[in-house]
Each structure stands twice: as C-alpha cells, then as structure tokens.
Amino acid sequence: MHLAESSTPAAIPGAAIGEALPHELQEGFRLDGTTEIGAILSDLAWLGSAVRVRNQFGHELSTRVLQADLKEHRLVLDRSMSAEDESELADSRENLFLASIRGAPVAFQSGAPRKVKFKGRLAFEVPFPACLYYVQRRRHFRAPVPPDAGFLCLIQNGNLNRLQLDIVDVSLSGVRLRGRIGAGLRFGDGAKVRGAVMDFGPYGKLSVDIRIMASRAIDEAEAGSVYYGCAFLDLPVKAENLLQRLVTSLELSHRRRGM
C-alpha cells in the first residue's frame, strides 16, 4: 500500500469530505438500509475489491476489503503499508472510501479506523456507514423479479374488479408487467393508467401513475400472455427511495444466483 497525493493536495476539513463525492453520486443513489448496505459491503469483501481511501489531510491510500462482518457491522481492511501511512490514516477522523462493484461506483464515509489483527495479519476496521452511495451502471437497469416473489400490479378497471398483473422486472424508471390475454382488458401503447398499485411484498407498496410504452402478446389465445413495458410518471422522492432499495436488493440476489 502506498500514499499518493490526490488531485486536491490541501487538507480536506471533515465537513468538506462529503463534498468530495463524485458528481454522479446523487441522492437518488443513496442507501441507508442496514440490509442493503451490508449486502453491498459483503459483495466488496467477496470480490476482494480494491478501495481508495481519501483522508482528512487530502491524501489517498489504496487498500483492500478483507471482510464484511454482518453480525458486528464492521468492515475489515488490509493494513499492509508503511508506518507513516498507517499513522496518518489512524489519525484521520473522517475518511471517504471509494470502490466499485463490476464497474458500478460505491462510496461511503467513516471515522478513524481502528487497528486490529485479522487472521494473523495487520488490518484496520471501521464500522458500517450510516449511508452508502451505490451507482448502478445504468440508472434504468432492469432487475429481474424471481418467479416465486409474487410481486403484483393491481389496476382498477372502472367499476369492475381490479386487474391483476405479474411484475416481471423493475427499474428506477418503470416496470415490465405480464397479464393473461383472457383477462379481458388490453392496454394500447401510450395509454396512461392512474393509481396503479405496485405490491412489492416485504418491500412495500406504491400507488403510482404509469404509461404503457410498449406491449407484446406471446399468444393471442385466451390462455396466452401479454407483456407491457411501463414507465413511472412523477414519482415522489419516497417512492424513488423504495425503488432504489428494491432494485439494489434484486440485482445483488440475481448476481449471487448466477455465481
């Protein structure tokens, strides 16, 4: 591990470290759920990801994640460095950690690391952050929904019974739905649906307006299926936060199933 001058050699006051976050790390990518934070840090540990640490003195160090302890909520980092670098990092009360998961940037802040030994080697540990920024490769990444998840979209069909469609995948900007041809109601491209209820099971429900962007029938027979690509309209911030947590969780679960 070595110490290198960052692009901002002057000292960075603790209050300004948050301002050093890359421009693309917007609030829309902020996660503050313990489960989601733990899952992302575990991914960094599983990959043995390299991490850049920018300390309060304006210097950057390179290290590597050794373990994400989900029980104790602590992150263990490699401490193979010079005594000078080790001392400076230990004295830094606020630090910005920058890494990536398969090209998707991850960033979080933490206080002064504690010197420990991990499996007989020198290490630092820091507590899990209160929040973390995870920027997916595409804002509109579509996370597939497991078939057994049972996520549903419920649409009120006038005074008739509600139409029930399966949620096939979801992104921060929309969903893909699947319904039966024989269900009766068909939506044309461009149709606007008000008050569609998205039931994401344990993640919660959203009542949101959607627009049908495209439709495709697999089989025109009564037992056939029709798919709708839908865009969310005028999402409130609270709904965006729920979708961010949901998409992140689904994406990580999908990747692990494919390993």
User: DSSP assignment of 96-164, as one string?
Assistant: EEEEEETTEEEEEEEE--EEEEETTEEEEEEEPPS-EEE--SSTT--EEPPGGG--EEEEE-TTSPEEE
Angle at CA 38, nearest 5°, toward 69 and 126?
A: 55
What is the mean predicted confidence (pLDDT) over 116-134? 89
How high is the pLDDT of residue 49?
85
How high is the pLDDT of residue 26?
53
How high is the pLDDT of residue 209?
93
The CATH fold assigned to 3-134 is Pnp Oxidase; Chain A (2.30.110)
Dihedral pair phi/psi, residue 36, rounded to 5°: -65, -40
Residue 5 has pLDDT above 60, yes or no: no
How high is the pLDDT of residue 16?
42
Determine what percent of the chain is predicted with pLDDT higher than 70: 79
Kindly indicate the confidence band of residue 169, based on its pLDDT and cuts at 50, 70 and 90.
Answer: very high
Q: Do domains 3-134 and 143-257 have the same CATH topology?
A: no
From 186, 46, 169, select the one nearest 102 (Cα to Cα). 46
* Residues 10, 209: Cα–Cα separation, whole Å: 49
Kindly indicate the confidence band of residue 188, based on its pLDDT and cuts at 50, 70 and 90.
Answer: confident
Q: What is the pTM of this model?
A: 0.54
In this predicted model, what pLDDT tens digit does every residue of 214-230 receive, in sequence order?
A: 888 876 555 578 889 89
Three-state SS for 242? helix
- Where does 143-257 sit in CATH, by number? 2.40.10.220
Kindly indicate the confidence band of residue 248, based on its pLDDT and cuts at 50, 70 and 90.
Answer: confident
How high is the pLDDT of residue 244?
82
> What is the domain partition of the chain in residue ranges?
3-134, 143-257
